[in-house]
Each structure stands twice: as structure tokens, then as C-alpha cells.
Amino acid sequence: MTRPGPFRGVFTQQEPIPDAAIAAAVAVLRSGRLHRYNVVPGEVAQAALLERDYAAWQGSRYCLACGSGGQAMQIALRAFGVRPGEPVLTNAFTLAPVPGAIAGVGGRPVFVETTEDLVIDLDDLARKARDSGARLLLLSHMRGHLVDMDALAAVLARCGLTLIEDCAHTMGARWNGRKSGSFGFAACFSTQTYKHMNTGEGGLLTSDDAGFMARAIILSGSYMLYERHGAAPDASAFADARLDSPNLSARMDNLRAAILRPQLATLDENIDRWNERYEAVAAELRGVPTIRLPDRPAAERFVGSSIQFLMPGIDEEGARRFLAAAADLGVELKWFGDREPRGFTSTHRSWRYADPQVLPKSDRVLAVLFDMRIPLTFSVEDCAHIGRIIAHCAGYTGGAARVVHVGVAQMAHTGGE
Ligand SMILES: *Cc1c(COP(=O)(O)O)cnc(C)c1O
């Protein structure tokens, strides 16, 4: 294989907001009624309409629109009743706002190991549930990888754990045909720019539990206007919540809701587009002996908005050379093995507000784990090109597997798996 030419695309460039969403946003701006409770008689606010639409799309009874995915998680934990100092289980491979949400409500993050398929280790979950006495698992389907949800359900039942799902990367994903976010007591979604719908910042919380959702709505800052919500329980569910729950002012406004509603209509189509692009990258990586792609079971219908791969045996210096070689050819990869947190990428070692924890299995995985965004502004051909660059930088010469590139010289000796 000859050295691929450089790639010139921009990894942080999203698609423009669709015209229908721009028109809806302009209508809200013209009305001046941006606050979700600012309506004229007979009007249903965009935020309430979004809650109705999203609940229907997700198949949940209730939905709350809020300011960010992180706020959705904090509200969920608080509405569930996490007490100060209470242990809350979560997976070690996740994004900073997840342990941040646990700490934010005064909880204590307890990290569960991650497997080399990038899902929660169910044996470690059972062990830590028992040892910590935790009531709750805040499971982050990190980078869209779904654990065997049936096996998880069995562990949850056995350990008496309640599940709250963080679906920031699994909006629209399914396990055996069932939507991610419908397996737990509640689910949190993000509409931040790099997720599956884009309002800059934004979050959605879903659940079928009336008491929980009433507390969540009051927590989000509904004052006594909770009847202006689009997918809320009856007023009777608020009898205590309206007086017992503090107002944390974490609402979504009508402008962002208006931008989201038209995007919901094209989400399924975009999922297919993401998956085509994911497959174009993955196809180039599959034959590369130094690279291991996580297993993706047939039951999992994922959303390929990003791709992850392991390079078993690569050492720190090799990883840096590999990253530099890819960057040289225009491919921006993230590496979870870095000692220093960079950009959006950090690990449990840099979350010092949590108790220090020993996670040898996750550390081994993270040390050799690379990650890349797949924006929809890239064509399928762009993605194949990117895949060829990664394969090249990983030492792939095509045909018989021989490792020659300096970036992974070390791996030739330690041997990939
Ligand atoms: C982005 C993200 C969040 C939080 O989303 P924000 O809307 O940015 O607060 C939560 N979990 C994961 C895994 C994420 O990637």
C-alpha cells in the first residue's frame, strides 16, 4: 500500500443547522418569547412541544428539556434522592460530566471497570455493588458502546440496583430493537454540538415515573408553572415536589427547543449516514494486525458518530509517534492513555474530587485506546481515506501483515493480539 495523501477535513466541523430549524428559530426570535413559560393565551411553547415530541420519539411517558446533558444527570440523581456521601456506581471509561454530576449532587463516584470492548465489566459491577452498598448505577454508554443489556438487567436485579442511563452517545441506538434509554429508571441525553442533535448546549431527561419526573421538573426551575410542560405527570404528582424540591434554574429556552424539533425528524436518517461513515473507516482497519476494533454484537444497533480502536501492546512513545504520524496526515485522533488530560479527554486519574481508585483493567484498556469523531460533514470516501491513513500509520503495508512503520516499531516486538 502506498502512503496515502493527507486528509484536509476539519474534525470539529458539524453540518449547518437545517433550514427548517433556522426558520423555527427566527420565528421564536421574532416573537420575543424565548423563555419557556412566556406564552400568549392558547400558545404551547416550543420547549413544551419538544418535550412532547421527544417523549413520543423515545417511547417514554415523561420528558424534561433542560440546559445540558450534565444538568439532566444532576437533576436525575437529585430527583432520585442521592444523599450526601452516597456511593454511586458508574463506569470508569466515561466523560468528565458523568463523575462531575455525581460529585455535583454530593455523591461519591465508584468506578466500575471497563472491558476491552469498551463496555462496563459486569463481574466488577456485581462486586462493587456489594462492596459499596450503592443503590444506583449511572451507566454511561460511552462512545455509543452498549453492554449486553439483558445480562446487565440480570445483574441489576440480583444486586438490587437502579439504573439511570447516560445516553449522550446512544440517542437513537437500540439493543435487540429496543431504544437505548428505555432500559433504566430514567435516561439522560445531550444536544450539545458534538452529539446527535445540535443546539450548542441542551439536555433531555426521560422517565416513566411520575413522582421522579415531578421532582425533576421542579428542580429544573419550573416555579409553579409546571403545568406548562409538554410531557409531564398530572398536577397531583406535584403536591409535595413543588414545595420540597429546590429550584436549580436549569431550563431549556424556546430558541433551542425550536432548533431541535426539526432535527428530530432527520435523526434516523442521520444515524444511517453516521453508520455508513463508521463502516468506511472500520473496513480499512479490520485487516490491520496492530489494531483491534471492539466487538459490536448483532443485537446492538449503534450510532457510529465516533470510532474507537485499541492498539494492544503499544507503549507510550509508540502511541505518541502514532498520533503524530496521523496528525501529520491530517487525522485528529484522541488517546485515552495520555498522562495529561487534554481537550475533552480525561480519565479517572485526573478526577481528583473522587476517591482515588484502583482500576487496572480499565487502565490497561485506556492506555492503548484511540478515539476519533466522525462528523457528518465528511463524505463516505473521506472516511475511507481516513481509515487508510490510520492503517498506514499503524504500520499496515497491505497484504501479508508486516509491521514496518516507526510509529509502532515497539509493537512489532511486543506483538499485537
Ligand atoms: C457530552 C456528554 C455528556 C454531557 O453532556 P453535556 O450536554 O455536554 O453536559 C454526558 N455523558 C457523556 C458520555 C458525554 O459525552
The mean pLDDT value for 367-395 works out to 97
Under 8 Å between Cβ of 152 and 159:
no
- Give the C-alpha separation, 223 to 78, whole Å: 17
**Which cell numbers in the block locate residue 164?**
439511570
Please report, to the nearest 10 degrees, the dihedral formed by the alpha carbons of residues 399, 402, 408, 412 taken in order.
150
Residue whose CB lies within 8 A of the most ligand 1 atoms, among 114, 167, 195, 201, for a mutation test: 195
- Residues facing 65 on adjacent strands: 204
- Closest atom, ligand 1, to C-alpha of 94: 13
- Give the C-alpha separation, 192 to 71, whole Å: 12
417: confidence class by pLDDT, cuts 50, 70, 90: very low
pLDDT at 2: 78
pLDDT at 389: 98
Residue whose CB lies within 8 A of the most ligand 1 atoms, among 94, 98, 102, 145, for a mutation test: 98
- Give the C-alpha separation, 193 to 74, whole Å: 20
Give Cβ neighbours of residue 357 (< 8 Å, ≥ 6 apart). Answer: 92, 110, 111, 348
- Give the C-alpha separation, 212 to 23, whole Å: 35
Q: State whether the beta carbon of 144 lies less than 6 angstroms from ligand 1.
A: no
pLDDT at 396: 87
- Closest atom, ligand 1, to C-alpha of 203: 7
pLDDT at 3: 87
Give 280-293 pLDDT, tens digit per residue.
Answer: 999 999 999 999 99
Give the DSSP H or E segment for 153: helix 149-159
Give Cβ neighbours of residue 248 (< 8 Å, ≥ 6 apart). Answer: 71, 74, 75, 78, 219, 220, 221
pLDDT at 40: 97
Q: Is 268 helix (H, G, I), strand (E, B) or coil?
A: helix
The mean pLDDT value for 193-197 works out to 96
Q: What is the distance in A from the centroid of ligand 1 to the CA of 240?
A: 30
pLDDT at 399: 60
Q: What is the distance in A from the centroid of ligand 1 to the CA of 140?
A: 9
- Closest atom, ligand 1, to C-alpha of 72: 9
Q: State whether the beta carbon of 166 lies less than 6 angstroms from ligand 1.
A: yes
pTM for this predicted structure: 0.94
The mean pLDDT value for 400-415 works out to 42
Residue whose CB lies within 8 A of the most ligand 1 atoms, among 71, 139, 192, for a mutation test: 192
- Closest atom, ligand 1, to C-alpha of 166: 11
H helix runs in 12-121, sequence order: 19-31, 46-58, 69-80, 97-104
> Domains (ranges, CATH) in the chain?
19-265 (3.40.640.10), 267-415 (3.90.1150.10)
The mean pLDDT value for 35-50 works out to 97
- Closest atom, ligand 1, to C-alpha of 142: 13
- C-alpha neighbours within 13 Å on the C-beta side of residue 114: 28
Q: State whether the beta carbon of 69 lies less than 6 angstroms from ligand 1.
A: yes
Distances (CA, A) of 275 to 34, 153, 192, 258, 303: 35, 27, 20, 27, 6
The mean pLDDT of the chain is: 94
356: confidence class by pLDDT, cuts 50, 70, 90: very high
Give 118-140 pLDDT, tens digit per residue.
Answer: 999 999 999 999 999 999 999 99
- Closest atom, ligand 1, to C-alpha of 191: 7
